[in-house]
Structure formats: structure tokens, C-alpha cells
């Protein structure tokens, strides 16, 4: 015993004084775990302790298991978090936690086979509608995906998910513009595809696509604009009032593109 304190209300204050003086929270000087009297501030759990705590509150052991927040509760949580800003240290810790292999495996495990309900999908659409990534965000996403190889299984899933989907005219235009005059993109595609060998199935698909492109009229009637849209080899040319005007535009622009390819 260091000192006797008669008033219980002063116990924590005295304890803090001696903690600061003797630094008994440092392993080589004492046995205190925490730096602050009456709290767990400064204490760090071991990896084993963290795992045990996680196991103790995971799944059905979690006191909130099977329950849902009411709309009122969600609103209160949202209001309580508005205006709060995370420190860089906290952001880094969250990134590290999400990038850990065990975290990724855990998320895979609990989400495998799960299908989102229509209500959840609708909510996600509403949340993301109108949102745009900043240039910095786009750059980070690009850097994060560099060097990643998409498995054949994933490609098939993406293909199946997109089957039957129709892109809007705006999306088509953006995709067309994105591929134009971007030497870094062309260089990147050349780099990742160098040395790759195409399967027979892929060769047949490319051959079929070229055949269709060769025999294509290069123009279609667009119901939204009530005009004929001319598009040659992925390049949007323009909209024309009559089919005859569209045909003439195809002839003129095909000649231009052939000259450019020759040069």
C-alpha cells in the first residue's frame, strides 16, 4: 500500500497521480495494464484475446442476433453520426482491418450463397444514384485493380450477368469516348495481353464478331430520338433523319476510317 485515502471519491485521482509518477503501466516497471485510472485506455488486447472476444459474440452468440433496428433507431444512429470525421489513423486502421486475409475469408464465408432481396437491391440503388467518384477515388480504384487477374469463372459470371442487358445511348457514347485518344489505355491492354494465347472458342467468337461487323449496315433506327444512328467499328458518327442520309454517312466515314488505318 502506497497511501491510505479516506474519501472513496478521491481514489481514482490518487491512483492516477501514482500511475503517472511510477509509470507502473510499463511492463518493466509495474503490472498495471491501463494508463488511465478506472478505464481501459491504453490497454491493447493480444491477438488470442481478440479472437476469443470475437468468437464469444459471433453468430447466434451475439445478443443482437436475429434482431433488426427499427426505422426510428436507424434514423437516430444516422443523425448521431452526421458531421463526424474519422482521423487518418482510424481510416488507416479500418483499411488494414479490411485488407487482412482472415477478414476477407470471414466475409466470404458469411456471404457465400447469400442473395440480396429486391428491397435491399432497391435501397442500394437509391443510395448510389447520382453519386460520382472523385478523380482521386478513380485513381485509387485503378491502382487497386492493377495486376489483378480475373479468373475464367468470374468472367463467365460477369458474362451471364450482362446477357440481355442493353446499354443506354449515353453509356455507349461514354465507352466510345473512353477508348479514343488514350495511348496509356492502349499500352496497358497491349502489356497485359502480350504472350497470351487465345482459345479456339475465343478465336471463333472474334471471327464471328468481325464477320458481323463486315456485313453490318453500320446504322440502326433509334426509337428514342426517332432518327437513324450511324456507328462504325465502335465509333459514334451521328444521328440522321432519313435512312438515305445514314447510308451516305456510312459510305463517307468508311472511306475516312480506311484512309486513317492505312496511314
pLDDT tens-place string over residues 211-251: 666 556 788 888 888 899 888 777 788 899 998 998 888 88
Residue 262: the pLDDT is 47
| Cα–Cα distance, 107 to 58 (Å, whole number) | 13
Mean pLDDT taken over the chain: 77
Q: State residue 205 phi and psi, 5-degree precision.
A: -65, -45
| Cα–Cα distance, 50 to 52 (Å, whole number) | 5
Q: How confident is the model at residue 77 (pLDDT cuts 50, 70, 90)?
A: confident
Q: Taking the model in full, what pTM does it have?
A: 0.27
Average pLDDT over residues 64-73: 82
Q: State residue 220 phi and psi, 5-degree precision.
A: -140, 160
| Cα–Cα distance, 263 to 259 (Å, whole number) | 6
Amino acid at each position: 500500500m502506497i497511501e491510505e485515502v479516506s474519501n472513496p471519491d478521491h481514489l481514482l485521482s490518487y491512483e492516477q497521480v501514482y500511475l503517472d509518477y511510477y509509470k507502473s503501466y510499463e511492463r518493466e516497471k509495474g503490472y498495471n495494464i491501463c494508463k488511465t485510472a478506472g478505464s481501459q485506455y491504453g490497454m491493447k488486447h493480444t491477438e488470442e484475446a481478440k479472437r476469443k472476444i470475437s468468437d464469444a459474440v459471433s453468430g447466434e452468440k451475439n445478443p443482437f442476433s436475429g434482431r433488426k433496428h427499427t426505422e426510428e433507431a436507424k434514423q437516430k444512429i444516422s443523425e448521431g453520426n452526421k458531421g463526424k470525421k474519422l482521423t487518418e489513423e482510424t481510416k488507416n486502421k479500418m483499411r488494414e482491418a479490411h485488407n487482412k486475409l482472415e477478414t476477407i475469408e470471414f466475409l466470404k464465408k458469411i456471404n457465400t450463397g447469400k442473395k440480396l432481396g429486391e428491397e435491399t437491391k432497391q435501397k442500394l440503388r437509391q443510395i448510389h444514384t447520382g453519386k460520382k467518384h472523385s478523380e482521386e477515388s478513380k485513381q485509387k480504384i485503378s491502382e487497386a485493380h492493377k495486376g489483378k487477374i480475373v479468373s475464367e469463372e468470374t468472367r463467365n459470371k460477369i458474362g451471364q450477368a450482362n446477357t440481355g442487358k442493353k446499354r443506354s445511348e449515353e453509356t455507349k457514347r461514354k465507352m466510345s469516348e473512353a477508348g479514343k485518344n488514350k495511348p496509356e489505355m492502349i499500352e496497358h491492354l497491349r502489356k497485359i495481353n502480350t504472350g497470351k494465347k487465345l482459345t479456339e472458342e475465343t478465336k471463333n467468337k472474334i471471327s464471328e464478331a468481325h464477320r458481323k461487323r463486315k456485313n453490318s449496315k453500320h446504322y440502326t433506327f433509334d426509337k428514342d430520338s426517332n432518327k437513324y444512328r450511324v456507328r462504325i467499328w465502335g465509333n459514334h458518327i451521328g444521328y440522321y433523319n432519313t435512312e438515305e442520309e445514314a447510308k451516305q454517312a456510312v459510305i463517307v466515314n468508311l472511306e475516312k476510317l480506311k484512309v486513317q488505318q492505312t496511314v
